[in-house]
Structure 1
């Protein structure tokens, strides 16, 4: 078991599993709505997944434009009641196919906000790709169009996901299981 910054981290999805799944996801996405495709990565957690998936899309024959948006959920505790835009995209989405990329789909509030925002701005189609789907935590009727892995009800780190800004650099998705001895 890897030890990182004094913590035991049990790998849940290995770098090899993730890389293979990114190739499969890219092939699925190529078959979907991709006319004048704009990929929007939702920061911060999705940045590694988005980079790898975009490279897989390129290898599968797509050349999308890429944008980034930073959204924040805030409200009562960690449940988040309101979503606000911290950093918006610069591109016009009118009449375009948009692919939103995020690291994990849990409650669904942030991605539902992002999808509705793109439709309000005139997007033709808005699809969603997530590395992890933690459907047990869903609080909306939102489902992703493209899912890397179903995620058990664990707090996960690595591959862009963090706890207190730590562990984003890990090449795998893991679960912190305790302090190293």
Structure 2
């Protein structure tokens, strides 16, 4: 959550990265320090809460046994509430830290929501994407038809993963709406497909980044800041643990 001070980050004349007096030798640049990250997530939570609070979607409390017909049950709607919450789908593993902070800010804004997780893979190892998306763990939630769904992901770079997941959910579940929130939206030069998230907290460069959930071979997720990975750093660690 929000730090109690403004972070001081810089890159010195030798190309070394420092934040609050600590050197980050794996990095060549700074995308955002912890205070900027948290401030932007909090602001985005307020924006999303405002956008969704007035919306209605399918009333999951009704079933054919409680309505006159199956059609009536399917068509009945109710405002977003704890009985009928916003459905958030968090993409593992990169977005788990972001999701944790975002949903608490969203809760502070009074928007009822529930969270499920899906795990996808497009990187075999290191920093190179295979271009092929595989689903390693699917959704537990099944009752998404007619609901408002928000996908939460760490980054939009090529756009392949997010388009794959959006299309998968639309085809399988037919939600009322589906939108995407990412922590970092990379510049258009990174795109391989036509896709843009509806919401993003930070604009980022077309470079490999680490920290705040971003990793290279599972290293550096724990860093509080989002940093640009130094060239050659990805080869320091084995692909598999």
TM-score, normalised via structure 1 length: 0.89
Note if contact 2:27-2:227 (Cα within 8 Å) is conserved in structure 1: no
In the other structure, the counterpart of 1:127 is 179
Write out aligned runs for 1:76-91 (5 A). 78-91=128-141
Q: Residue 8 of structure 1: CA displacement?
A: 4.5
Within the candidate set 138, 146, 160, 1:109 is matched to: 160
The structure with the largest alpha-carbon Rg is 2
**Structure 2: how far apart are the matches of 1:88 and 1:17?**
32
Note if contact 1:15-1:171 (Cα within 8 Å) is conserved in structure 2: yes
Write out aligned runs for 1:30-179 (5 A). 30-33=49-52, 35=80, 36-73=85-122, 78-92=128-142, 93-120=144-171, 121-135=173-187, 136-177=189-230
Relative to 1, partners in 2 of residues 1:124 and 1:158: Cα closer, same or farther, differing over 3 Å? same
CA offsets per residue over residues 153-175 of structure 1, 9 Å max, x none? 22110000001111000111012
Note if contact 1:28-1:146 (Cα within 8 Å) is conserved in structure 2: no
Across the two proteins, how many residue pairs are aligned to each other? 177
Note if contact 1:162-1:168 (Cα within 8 Å) is conserved in structure 2: yes
**Structure 2: how far apart are the matches of 1:139 and 1:178?**
22
Q: Residue 122 of structure 1: CA displacement?
A: 1.6
- Larger RCO (CA under 8 A, 6+ residues apart): 1
Give ranges in structure 1 of 5+ residues lacking alignment: none
CA offsets per residue over residues 23-45 of structure 1, 9 Å max, x none? 11111111334633111110111
In the other structure, the counterpart of 1:3 is 23
Give ranges in structure 2 of 5+ residues lacking alignment: 1-17, 56-79, 233-241
**Structure 2: how far apart are the matches of 1:161 and 1:8?**
13
**Structure 2: how far apart are the matches of 1:154 and 1:74?**
15
